[in-house]
Structure 1
Amino acid sequence: MKSMTRREENKPVQRSVFSNFFTDIDRMFDDDMFLMPMHMSRMGNANMPAANISETDKEYSIDLAVPGMKRDDFNIEIDEHMISISCEKEENIKEDKDNYKRREYNYSSFSRSFRLPETVKADSIKAQYENGVLHIRVPKAEQTVQKKKRINVE
């Protein structure tokens, strides 16, 4: 049986001018304030280049996407099975014309480190930079295979 009361489903909801403002402010404090450290960490990694790491039978390969750099901008060091790749680039553009002056400063840097296995030839690591990608090849050391040996108990 149908209800005798009339429902007004299509009637627009009346809201205060400030209701959306306060709702947005409340949402900011409820959501964004607690997630701010996560947002800040993402902003801090904005200059962190993407890395692809792969492995073959003979070598490990580390590829970093770092467009706009030069070979001399990179610093690659190995210390106790840790490879560290860093880069600093500073640009100063100064232009003085009759009607205007233009000065722009740009500074970018990053540092990434990767732990290497103990079975690599650290003396044979090679790096190459081409088309905005830094390719680092880390050859594997030959592993000695132990033969099966029976030990007698005395």
Structure 2
Amino acid sequence: MTALKTRALPTLWDRFFEDAWPPVNDEKVLNPQIEIRRNDSEYRILAQLPGLKKEDVQVEVENGELKLSGKYSAEEKTEHKTVHSEIRRYAEFRRNLRIDQDRFDLDRVSAKMENGVLEVTLPLRAGVKARQIQING
């Protein structure tokens, strides 16, 4: 015996309206690109966050983690004689980076936001230097 699967075929009416209105709630999870730079006195973490303002972003240091998070929301309304639409966009992100609490001066961590780029500065503790490792073999 053969089992038949059925599915509803789209009607002309469905096809007519499928692209007429985009989804009302377009939720997304952002995955910002992060760049880590180091010099003799500090590490700098740069996160690309286009469209976000500093009020939308949170930076925390807790339990050996640097936590970056934020939310973006926007609303667009269009009203014309025959067209009425409202589009809401929402996205959020959360990035946790493990950090060595003994290596950094956590009381002096700072952050700034400029032109959609979040820059977090992690100053190194005094006396912390890179150590050259010999490669055997």
Give the TM-score, by structure 2 length: 0.66
Q: Distance in 2 between matches of 1:54 and 1:96?
A: 47
Number of the residue aligned with 2:64: 81
Q: Which runs of 5+ in 2 are unaligned?
A: 1-27, 130-137
Normalized per residue, which structure has more strand? 2
CA distance in 1, matches of 2:63, 2:106: 10
Structure 2 counterpart of 1:100: 83
> For the structure 1 residues 87 and 46, does the alpha-carbon distance in structure 2 shift closer, same or farther, using more than 3 Å as the test?
closer
User: 33, 40, 48: which one pairs with 2:31?
Assistant: 48
What CA RMSD, in Å, does the superposition of the two structures yield over aligned residues? 2.1
Residues matched between the structures, number: 101
Residues 133-152 of structure 1 aligned to structure 2 (within 5 Å): 133-143=117-127
More helix by share: 1
The share of aligned pairs that are identical, in percent, is 25
- Tell me how far apart the structure 1 counterparts of residues 29 and 96 of structure 2 sit (CA, whole Å): 17
Tell me what 1:125 maps to: 109
More relative contact order, 1 or 2 (CA 8 Å, 6+ apart): 2
Consecutive unaligned residues in structure 1, runs of 5 or more: 1-44, 146-154
TM-score, reference length from structure 1: 0.60
Bigger Rg, which one: 1
